[in-house]
Amino acid sequence: MSATSLHSRSNRANRMKLALLVLLSVLLISCETARYYSQAARGQLAIVFGRENIERLLASRDLPTELRDKFNEVLLIRQYALEELGLPVENNYSTYVYIEREHAIWNVFAAPEFSVDPVNWCYPIAGCASYRGYFTESGAARYAKELELDGLDVYTGGIDAYSTLGWFQDSLLSTVLSRADYQLAGLIFHELAHQIVYISGDTKFNESFATSVEREGIRRWLKHGNQIEKIGTAEADIQRQQQFVALVTDYRNRFDILYESDLLDQETRKKKAELQEGLRLSYQELKQGWNGYDGYDSWFSQSLNNAQLSTVGSYNDLVPFFNDLLAQSDNNLTLFFEEVSKIASLEKIDREERMQDYF
């Protein structure tokens, strides 16, 4: 084994120990904080200790054909992500973890009753983000209820995969196996992008960048594999997503205007409900052109409160900026990543000035 390999493994081990040490130290802060970080540590460690090497699984004769095909596809995706997209693959997605629940985690989002600006939480490792993650649905529901009692709008969404930002080796989780191959590729590209750039406290920047990399990666991946028949399907998915985002963004701006008005609270609540119903009706009109696709129905069946609306902005608001930056980089991902890293290194006020035309 080379000295470089030994050094790399030692660094990863040290980072893991540091991460666990930070988590354990935070347990002393308060009972609520202790409960939260305790479940986070247990959940992450369960994934770490549940990992199985994908290549070793592929060597097993008992592996079901469906899993074998999916694992082989993931190995190809990893290779493409490294060699063609320049993403920091390392040992990520070389292992598999079976999870006996519907989602990997449940994220809780919150916003004031009369604002679409999300509440932020800060963490010792990941920095600040506009969500709080739980490894059990009941834990998320319990915390969501506490926030609601404080008068906040609250939304809880199941998440099938997440990035540990290089602190741990990210694994392929069973919660994502039902996705189409190109969707799985996009997810891996998205999560790996977080390891290139991640700014503490700037969810919108982080997620918009990763979404841009995800979409560009999908297009290139399908063309690389000459999967012509899937390109149309993927482009249709992306177009529907863009239409969905445009619709919600339009209404989110309407909510902003409402909340900045001088109306009494009672009247504001009434008009808020009217806008929520208008958004549902507008979605039904938009969906007429989707040839029966109903993938967003469950999202629109929920409350459409401020917390829920804020989640769309976090992942998409700055995607046009990053798309334009990629074009300005001659569609060279290496140059693109360098430019994004430069912007990420700026102070927040300077960073926002650089992107001001996209806010």
pLDDT tens across 244-300, in order?
Answer: 999 999 999 999 999 999 999 999 999 999 999 999 999 999 999 999 999 999 999
Res 303 pLDDT > 80: yes
**Residue 178, CB half-sphere, CA atoms under 13 Å: how many?**
4
Task: Give pLDDT, residue 4.
Answer: 38
Which tokens sit at 126? 């990941």
Task: Give pLDDT, residue 22.
Answer: 53
Res 12 pLDDT > 80: no
Res 200 pLDDT > 90: no
- Give the pairing of strands 172-173 and 95-97: parallel
Contacts for 84-88: CB closer than 8 Å, 24+ residues apart: 84/220, 84/224, 85/189, 85/213, 85/217, 85/220, 85/333, 86/333, 86/334, 86/337, 87/189, 87/192, 87/193, 87/195, 87/196, 87/213, 87/217, 88/166, 88/192, 88/195, 88/196
Task: Give pLDDT, residue 30.
Answer: 56
**Which carries the bigger pLDDT value, residue 8 or residue 125?**
125
Q: How many structural domains compose the chain?
A: 1
Question: Do 154 and 109 form a contact (C-beta atoms < 8 A)?
Answer: yes
Task: Give pLDDT, residue 1.
Answer: 44
- Domain housing 22: 1-49
- In a domain? residue 54: no
Least confident among 102-106, 149-153, 230-234 = 230-234
Which tokens sit at 113? 């009753």
Geometric angle at alpha carbon 89, from 87 and 92, rounded to 5°: 145
- In a domain? residue 22: yes
The mean of the pLDDT values for the chain is 91
pLDDT average, residue stretch 137-161 = 97
- In a domain? residue 40: yes
Q: What is the pTM of this model?
A: 0.86
- In a domain? residue 270: no
28 confidence band (pLDDT: 50, 70, 90)? very low
- In a domain? residue 42: yes
Dihedral sign (CA 297, 234, 250, 103) = positive
3 confidence band (pLDDT: 50, 70, 90)? very low
List Cβ neighbours of 149 (8 Å cut-off, separation of 6 or more). none
**Which carries the bigger pLDDT value, residue 82 or residue 130?**
82
The pLDDT > 90 percentage for the chain reads 79
pLDDT average, residue stretch 103-118 = 97
Residue with tokens 């479940």: 39
Task: Give pLDDT, residue 13.
Answer: 58
6 confidence band (pLDDT: 50, 70, 90)? very low
- In a domain? residue 4: yes
pLDDT average, residue stretch 196-203 = 90
pLDDT average, residue stretch 50-66 = 96
Residue pLDDT, tens place only, 150-180: 999 999 999 999 998 888 899 999 999 999 9
pLDDT average, residue stretch 86-95 = 97
27 confidence band (pLDDT: 50, 70, 90)? very low
- In a domain? residue 18: yes
Least confident among 58-67, 92-101, 218-227 = 218-227
pLDDT average, residue stretch 32-54 = 91
Residue pLDDT, tens place only, 219-232: 999 998 778 788 89
Task: Give pLDDT, residue 20.
Answer: 57
Res 14 pLDDT > 50: no
- In a domain? residue 32: yes
